[in-house]
Amino acid sequence: MSANFSVSEENYIKAIYHIQQSVDTVSTNALAEQLKTKPASVTDMLKKLKTKKLLHYEPYQGVRLTAEGRKLALGIVRKHRLWEFFLVEKLQFGWDEVHEVAEELEHISSKKLIDKLDAYLDFPRFDPHGDPIPDSSGRMAAQQQINLIDLPLNTPAEVCSVGSQSAELLELLTHKQISIGTRLEVKKQFGFDHSIEIRVKNQPAFTISQQLAQVLFVKRV
């Protein structure tokens, strides 16, 4: 029961899982880009993971996780998000500095460890970026985040994650005084450049670009 997979294999499975959230079938190139590796290396790994029955793969046809592959992916996502929660809630990390560390911690194999950590943290349902945490049987709450672009007018919402951690984005967010937890609503949408006008608390409304809105994720409050 429950084989042991390498860090590389786990990273592939998790990446496929994430890409499958938006497309049905995952291409070799998409995986190579996500994993910062080359398409030829991806093909090699796909052949191996197929023999391990973690995914469906036919040459040139792209790839989809099997039920078993999805189960493995959910286990890794669970570990990743629980560790992120731990780092922020207990160790006082900032939400923008936990990802890389969790990228390593998610590969610690002990199931007992992660279940005890879950209990210690009091079974959190969302990680510091607002993403739902699968429970020990792989179930999780529906994604509550939507892109700021898709938030209807005059609907109060709260920023719960950002789609990038680049220094340039963080600089802009700092200047605009937007951070995780900021309450806002959209007052106007401009079709010409897809910029939107938002209002934070009772301050005067201001405009943000399409590019910025696209990396902001919010949930209704």
Segment (H or E) for 60:
none
202 binds a second copy, rule: CB under 8 A: no
| Residue pair 160/218 in contact by the 8 Å Cβ criterion | yes
101 binds a second copy, rule: CB under 8 A: yes
Query: Which span (59-67, 112-120, 136-144, 150-158) binds DNA, by CB under 7 A?
Result: 59-67
Q: Which residue of 9, 118, 127, 185 would you call a contact of Mn ion, by CB under 5 A?
A: 127
3 binds DNA, rule: CB under 7 A: no
Q: Would you list the DSSP string of 112-181?
A: HHHHHHHHHTT--SB-TTSPBPP-TTS--PPP--EEGGGPPBT--EEEEEES---HHHHHHHHHHT--TT
Smallest separation, CB 120 to a second copy (Å): 6
Cβ distance to DNA smaller for residue 32 or 172: 32
| Residue pair 112/102 in contact by the 8 Å Cβ criterion | no
Cβ distance to Mn ion smaller for residue 179 or 209: 179
9 binds DNA, rule: CB under 7 A: yes
Closest to 127 in 3D by CA, of 111, 113, 143:
143
Residues that bind a second copy (CB under 8 A): 87, 90-93, 97, 100-101, 104-105, 108-110, 112-113, 116-117, 120
